[in-house]
Structure 1
Amino acid sequence: MTGAPSDLPSVRELLSHAVDAVGGTEREGQVRMADAVDNAIRTGEHLAVQAGTGTGKSLAYLVPAIRHAVESDTTVVVSTATIALQRQLVDRDLPRLARSLKKPLGVEPTFAILKGRRNYLCLHRVHTGVEDEPEDTALFDQFAISRIGREVKRLHEWSSDTETGDRDELVPGVSDQAWRQVSVTAKECLGAGRCPVGDDCFAELARAEAGRANIVVTNHALLAIDALQDYQVLPDHDVTIIDEAHELVDRVTSAATADLSPAMVTAATRRCARLIDADIVDRLLETGEGLALMLEDALPGRLDVLPDALGGAVASVRDAAHACLTALGSERREDPEEAAKRKLARSALDDVHDTAVRLLDAFDDDPADRKDVVWVTGDRQGGSPRPPALHVAPLGVGGLLRERVFGTSTTVLTSATLALGGSFDTLARQWGLPPQPQRTEKAAGSPGTPGSAGSPGSTGTATEKPPPSDSDNGPRWSGIDVGSPFDYRRNGILYVAKHLPPPGRDGLGTATLDEIAELIDAAGGRTLGLFSSMRAAKQATEELRDRIGHPLLCQGDDSTSLLVNKFAEDARTCLFGTLSLWQGVDVPGASLSLVIVDRLPFPRPDDPVASARQRAVEARGGNGFLTVAATHAALLLAQGVGRLHRSTDDRGVVAVLDPRLATARYGGFLRASLPPLWPTHRPDVVRDALRRLDAAAPA
């Protein structure tokens, strides 16, 4: 990627200009990161950057990315895991940066946001296309039908006003059922050339704008779809920047997961009912009913062996779907409405057929060589039972990422949490990169020491691509930890309640609940409780709400965003919740001085994907628990601990009520993954510190 010297200002000059323009201050970690990203772009060597909260990492990667895009007249793709970061980049960071860099670059950089086609209104479906079939659950629910009808009417009216057709711009939003009436997936789309309103297609306009932009912001799911599919989704680009990279593997795994249920078969049947011979359609309908009967007898959980009866039902679905596809024939010259119906039918049949094939193929290989894991879900109990279904997911995505992401563009991966156990190797293996990078740099005061806690191994591949081996040189990459502007040891305490009993399966014990109450009392409220399950969060809420003397909110009482706002506005308020709060709370200041973690966040023992990945590592002689379960816990724990420090002035305590963090052999690996808070096991020291913080906090 090296070339002739450029007339443009250097990255450091542009960064300094940008920081001045937004009224910020230059930070050492930000400068180091910008230099590292610039070097990666120039040399083509992939880069992993751990940048703690407060580093200003968005600016650190956007400035060199923009410079490269302008200089080379090309596009750089920035992928995020969350909508919140997408919105921050597109609504705040990029507009300010584009304005500030216009003069030194001699041109104003351009940017665009690109989402999957399903996120955009389809004008053909709005005006002339086919309606979606109602779901079985809504057939006899007149209230649901009237609600959906009102929402669809509103969408039709909105279609005349919107300039983007982007679902996220519709406020208030509508249900998924209503949105499906006016949108299509990429497989359902007629194509701009055949569609009578193709020239005005919102999705095509968004893609065209993205193709002209210097920076395109997208999400990990669309990045995965671009890698998985045979057709190109993202514009041509030579550099990819993956922010929130700690979530990349999970998001790509989710995008590569497929489902098969009797409801899917029924929906496909309805789609093709008027297009092909009734006898062929009836055969598909019957196989769906047969699948439902077999699933009724199947216990929820991972399938290591496919029962003959269930396998026969899946094979019947496969063959019947193939017969329908054959009868449907190839695309014909017909009016757009008929073409749309045929396209929707083909898409639904393809999904059923291809998933059935994949499910059956998953059991062809020797268990040690399998690429996919299969499991059954279904909750037949409770107030809202879920009908049973089959699912298939990749054991790993390293092979896919290695070939289709790292193999096609220079890639920068960044997050506040990448060096697990002090080493980048843990996540690098999951991404498909070889171990032992050529160069790993570490900032002073950063958590852990590279390689100090061992390096968990690979977890397999998502495709036919083999996993990287220790002897494989593979793509060149380096890792750098630029640290954080936060003085963690002076401003934060990591308290591990070593005296408590290990957590059990029967909910929170009396000693743990007493500990929570005493800590909250010392902190004067100001507490975020992060629980490993919704059951534990609700138990703690019910048992402590009348006991602690401070307002106590629990996730599920209202929308999460409203609860977080209430929590931030009243310093005495406490908020308890589960998974989304571990990564989704950004509350600086005195409203949050205590983070409580009830237990180490290992995946559930019956989690089908995690347990299958763990077993696959062990089959190759690796440490499955450390590679899969401990890595999952380290990522989530580091994210949870990161809720405490959101600004340089934040001070407080992270209280982990699971003694295993101090006593278990893997505790060192987990602690080396966390910011370097001052550690203690003494409850009296912690309570005194919390009382001092409460007394010093603004009224």
Structure 2
Amino acid sequence: MDKFVVVDLETTGHAPSNGDKIIEVGIVVIQGRVITDQFQTMLDPGMSIPPFISQLTGIADEDVAGAPQFEDVAGEISAFFKDSYVVAHNANFDLRFLNSALELAGHAPIKRPVLDTVELARILLPTAPSYKLSVLSEHLSFEHDQPHRALSDTLVTAELLLSLLDGLAKLPYETVSHLLSLEKALKSDLRGLLENRLEELAFEGAEDDVLEVYRGLAIRKVPENEETASSVTQSFGEIADQLYREDGWLSAGMKEYEPRKSQVEMSEQIFDAFQSDKHALLEAETGTGKSLAYLLPAVYSAVKSNSRIVISTHLTQLQAQLMDKEIPLLQRLLPFTFKTALLKGKQHYLSLSRFESELQQTANDNYDIALTKAILLVWLTMTETGDIDEVNLPSSGKRFFLHMSADAEDTQDPFSPWFSRSFYQRAKKAAWQADVIVTNHALLCSDMQEEYQLLPSYQRVIIDEAHHFEATAAKHFGLALDYVSIHHMLSHANTVYEKATDELPNTQAEMLIWSSLWDQTKVEADDMFRYIHDFVLSQHKKKLGTNDIGRLQLRLDEVRETKQMLVIAEMSSRLLFGVRDCIHHLLQLVKTADKQGEKKISDSLRNAVEQLQGIIDNIERMFLVYDDEEVKWIEVDMYGARNAVYLYSEPLDIADLLLEHFFAEKKSVVLTSATLTMKQSFEFIQNQLGLDDQTITRRFDSPYSYQDQVQLLVPNDFPDVRGKDNYPFIYAVCEAILSLASITDGRMLVLFTSYDMLKKAYGLLKELTEDQDYTLIAQGITSGSRDRLKKNFQSNKKAILFGTSSFWEGVDIPGGDLSCLVIVRLPFQPPDHPIYEAKAAKLKAEGKNAFMELALPNAVIRFKQGFGRLIRSSSDRGIVFVCDDRMMKARYGSYFTASIPDVPTHYKRTGELLELAAEWL
């Protein structure tokens, strides 16, 4: 069958069962891979079109006045689908609406094979940034004149389908064969297309320059990088001058390059720190161009001294930018060659051996797992790295991937058939051969702790986004454990035991003992975590703190002497007895496996033992060992399962640990960020990290003209932000947002310090904007990742984006998409957060002021990050509206204003500020 009928509908809402109607139909017919017919009509729904739909589609009541009703054209529409595939972008929506309307009009529903281009694009374009039609059309360079209009959307969907069919026609035999085994669990009826492709391949030659087939999997061949670093003959100053000057290499290699004095000075400063073997703290404000500023001294020093340099970032987003953009630019421009490698933790890389065994078990796959396997099969024909961050997996797919990452492998056995093709081993090998390694803070901190090296040895490192480094290190020197991970480790141990006993000689009695022991240990874990959950809930009346996703938090210091803690200690001991017995039985099997020469089984068992030993170490540390240098706390989901319990511990002071395990061992550590100082002073970050007075400290100002680009507005007539009843304050915030939105046409980011306040404001604003056409997008309420929400915001006219926690930084919305930033409250950490409470108590015991030494510096740095969301280029212009007037009234307010660039600041009544905003914009 070679006929495809592509359909798109515009409707008054989401559900025909709620009485929603079709207002426009677009149909495109494809035969012989060319468009042969098209059809479009408006339809009178017999009801008023909601304002939101009119804003989205541009279709108003007057556009459908006098148009036919659906029953008038139902026969004509139905006739298109004879002997064809039905194709739609999110086919379930369009087909449900179409069949409901056809049945109401007295026609038979359409029952033809269906192709959903969202699902097909997910599988065949696994690295696309998003699967919205507008984003895909941009990604594939299709013209899309009128998004959310039926015929325009249908024509783009038709183009997309043809492109996807071309992609399908390039897949190798093995990939198609595996896809065929997954097809029954997918939404699209792909069987006919896949079988046709297999028939074609039966007559094609098997030679392929790009792919290799190994153990039934088609994977991309990776060319060996034979290039070696060349010598450097010029001095650093000569190269920096040729790179950065107005008519230099960067001007020739980059569009719109502007020489920046601060960029050159920062480069020179880093080179000096490396040469003098000193540590440095460098604050580079937005617009400095810090990535290129530190890359040049890094690659130059690495090649010149023939010694490896590491660059560490907090976000994978910045790693991708360095590897895909800045480093290739320098490789093109510089007169010497250098090798770089990206190395992440094992959990980022696909394990081919785990994936191979998962593909052999498809009988019980649900939709999410089948879709994830299909995506990964196609991605393997494209990827050279095996790094899952390349793939746009659905959220359920990300959970499934954890079982197939290199971290879940039983072994990194050099004799494994997959070892020579292991993505993780390949990344490690590339790192050993590289001059510059790009990694993340988490792996850098793990490397400090591990006895075996995760990173190749190095003496000089640049840490970007350094304001996160202390918190990341604290997490790595602490512990994090939860019921789900313990349950997973126990289940893994049982699976490994059962597989081993299938292969090794073992008595029935021993297996029965194991089964009983394992069941009992699981019960002990269940009982303990349920008891902890109930205990924390029973403490709720004492006004426990909550984190930013609403979990209750209980610090163990507060309840150490209670009888419940004695019960938890007793239950812990019982659980650990069970886990130790499980380890004993596994080790007995290890001996048997070693005697039989079954190395793979032995390694698998040892891996399970290592995981169970981790449970023992962490539970002991949490409940059975007292250490006043650690803060320990429990988090529970109030409305989650009764065992939804999370255990955490962190050192109270990380400075000495960092000094001993990191700064004292490295020749030069350069830490940089846009937010390291408070009132131009580095004292707070120096104390946090344990850096001495010999550390170089320097600030590099932004080249942006903040005086001309920003207005800071603070109202003096808002209700008190700290009142017990925060409704009056939230109402005032929502009224101000609405008034500002009418001035800026939406294009607004609103930053909250608590998820609870975000939810309340969102609900209230939803009511206030009911008859208006603003699109409200809210973290934790609107589905999707942070990047997805940001893209939705940028693609919607008149949108308002609500964010908390992660939205205060790393969200880059340049240009006219963002004109207004609202900061609802100054971002002080909740005083009842366990880490803050414990650190504050320690400072108080030392006779220090916890507010000035801890709460205020953290809040100022966070505020600077939030403030930095608005101006991302020299042409950006906008308003920062801070609803919290403590910034102007409180004696500590000057710390906030003196820590951001000097901007025109207005402290007036809300009405006056709104007039000023309208006039200035």
- SS across alignment from 2:851: helix
Distance 1:109 1:18, change over 3 A: farther
For residue 393 of structure 1, the aligned residue among 631, 650, 662 is 650
Deviation at 1:533, TM superposition (A): 2.3
For residue 611 of structure 2, the aligned residue among 332, 348, 365 is 348
Distance 1:505 1:633, change over 3 A: farther
- 8 Å CA contact 1:420–1:669 kept in 2: the answer is yes
Cα distance in 2 between the residues matched to 1:568 and 1:92: 22
Cα distance in 1 between the residues matched to 2:856 and 2:365: 44
Distance 1:543 1:385, change over 3 A: farther
Report the equivalent of 1:469.
none
Q: How many residues align?
A: 631
**Structure 2 unaligned spans of 5+:** 1-230, 501-509, 537-552
1:67-88, CA deviations, whole angstroms, 9 ceiling, x for partnerless residues?
A: 0011112221111111211111
User: What's the TM-score, normalizing by structure 1?
Assistant: 0.83
Report the equivalent of 1:478.
696
- 8 Å CA contact 1:124–1:197 kept in 2: the answer is yes
Cα distance in 1 between the residues matched to 2:341 and 2:884: 45
- SS across alignment from 1:554: strand
Cα distance in 1 between the residues matched to 2:855 and 2:674: 20
User: Is residue 600 of structure 2 the alignment partner of residue 373 of structure 1?
Assistant: no
Distance 1:571 1:492, change over 3 A: farther
Greater Rg over alpha carbons, structure: 2
Distance 1:663 1:693, change over 3 A: closer
Report the equivalent of 1:163.
384
Cα distance in 2 between the residues matched to 1:566 and 1:98: 35
Distance 1:347 1:159, change over 3 A: farther
Cα distance in 2 between the residues matched to 1:264 and 1:570: 39
Q: What letter is aligned with 2:405?
A: S
Report the equivalent of 1:294.
531
- 8 Å CA contact 1:291–1:313 kept in 2: the answer is yes
- 8 Å CA contact 1:489–1:678 kept in 2: the answer is yes
Q: What letter is aligned with 1:13?
A: D
Q: What letter is aligned with 1:397?
A: I
Distance 1:515 1:379, change over 3 A: same
Cα distance in 1 between the residues matched to 2:850 and 2:360: 48
- 8 Å CA contact 2:713–2:879 kept in 1: the answer is yes
Report the equivalent of 1:235.
456
User: Is residue 342 of structure 2 the alignment partner of residue 113 of structure 1?
Assistant: yes
User: Is residue 721 of structure 2 the alignment partner of residue 500 of structure 1?
Assistant: no
- 8 Å CA contact 2:677–2:861 kept in 1: the answer is no
Distance 1:265 1:82, change over 3 A: closer
Cα distance in 2 between the residues matched to 1:97 and 1:508: 54
1:130-188, CA deviations, whole angstroms, 9 ceiling, x for partnerless residues?
A: 999x9xxxxxxx998453245246545654664322112234456233213322428x5
Report the equivalent of 2:313.
80
Cα distance in 1 between the residues matched to 2:878 and 2:530: 55
Task: Give aligned-pair identity as a percent.
Answer: 30
Structure with the bigger RCO (C-alpha within 8 Å, sep 6+) is 1
- 8 Å CA contact 1:48–1:412 kept in 2: the answer is yes
The 5 Å alignment of 1:14-53 reads: 15-16=243-244, 17-20=248-251, 21-23=253-255, 24-53=257-286
- SS across alignment from 2:535: coil
Cα distance in 2 between the residues matched to 1:590 and 1:155: 37
Deviation at 1:202, TM superposition (A): 1.0
Cα distance in 2 between the residues matched to 1:129 and 1:400: 41
Cα distance in 1 between the residues matched to 2:400 and 2:373: 6
Cα distance in 2 between the residues matched to 1:517 and 1:179: 42
Report the equivalent of 1:422.
680
1:102-133, CA deviations, whole angstroms, 9 ceiling, x for partnerless residues?
A: x2x3xx2221111101111112223359999x
Deviation at 1:260, TM superposition (A): 3.7
For residue 661 of structure 2, the aligned residue among 387, 401, 404 is 404
Report the equivalent of 1:537.
758
Deviation at 1:209, TM superposition (A): 0.4
Deviation at 1:218, TM superposition (A): 0.8
Cα distance in 1 between the residues matched to 2:817 and 2:374: 43
Distance 1:245 1:361, change over 3 A: farther
Cα distance in 2 between the residues matched to 1:250 and 1:270: 32
- SS across alignment from 1:341: helix
- 8 Å CA contact 1:317–1:356 kept in 2: the answer is no
- 8 Å CA contact 1:537–1:576 kept in 2: the answer is yes
User: What's the TM-score, normalizing by structure 2?
Assistant: 0.64
- 8 Å CA contact 1:362–1:373 kept in 2: the answer is no
For residue 401 of structure 2, the aligned residue among 179, 189, 202 is 179
Cα distance in 2 between the residues matched to 1:45 and 1:344: 41
Q: What letter is aligned with 1:623?
A: N
Report the equivalent of 1:444.
none
Cα distance in 2 between the residues matched to 1:544 and 1:514: 8
- 8 Å CA contact 2:533–2:643 kept in 1: the answer is no
Cα RMSD over matched residues? 2.9
Distance 1:212 1:546, change over 3 A: same
Deviation at 1:621, TM superposition (A): 1.9
Report the equivalent of 1:690.
917
Report the equivalent of 2:125.
none
Deviation at 1:264, TM superposition (A): 3.9
- SS across alignment from 2:815: coil
Distance 1:594 1:158, change over 3 A: closer
Q: What letter is aligned with 2:328?
A: P
Cα distance in 2 between the residues matched to 1:269 and 1:281: 8
Distance 1:13 1:653, change over 3 A: same
Report the equivalent of 1:557.
782
Report the equivalent of 1:639.
865
1:588-637, CA deviations, whole angstroms, 9 ceiling, x for partnerless residues?
A: 22332221111111222332222222222222222222333223321221
Question: In terms of mean alpha carbon deviation, does 72-81 or 263-272 score higher?
Answer: 263-272
The 5 Å alignment of 1:117-516 reads: 117-127=346-356, 145-152=366-373, 154-155=375-376, 158-159=379-380, 162-172=383-393, 175-185=397-407, 189-273=410-494, 274=497, 277-278=513-514, 280-299=517-536, 300-304=553-557, 305-306=559-560, 307-329=565-587, 333=594, 334-335=597-598, 337-360=600-623, 362-363=625-626, 365=627, 370-381=628-639, 387-409=644-666, 410-434=668-692, 437=693, 476-503=694-721, 504-509=723-728, 510-516=731-737
- 8 Å CA contact 1:49–1:412 kept in 2: the answer is yes
Structure number with the higher helix fraction is 2
User: Is residue 911 of structure 2 the alignment partner of residue 679 of structure 1?
Assistant: no
Cα distance in 1 between the residues matched to 2:377 and 2:815: 44
Q: What letter is aligned with 1:557?
A: T
- SS across alignment from 1:575: strand
Cα distance in 2 between the residues matched to 1:244 and 1:386: 36
- 8 Å CA contact 1:15–1:63 kept in 2: the answer is no
User: Is residue 362 of structure 2 the alignment partner of residue 99 of structure 1?
Assistant: no
Question: In terms of mean alpha carbon deviation, does 52-61 or 8-17 score higher?
Answer: 8-17
Distance 1:319 1:386, change over 3 A: closer
Report the equivalent of 1:605.
831
Report the equivalent of 1:440.
none
Distance 1:573 1:191, change over 3 A: closer
Question: In terms of mean alpha carbon deviation, does 332-341 or 241-250 score higher?
Answer: 332-341
Question: In terms of mean alpha carbon deviation, does 232-241 or 552-561 score higher?
Answer: 552-561
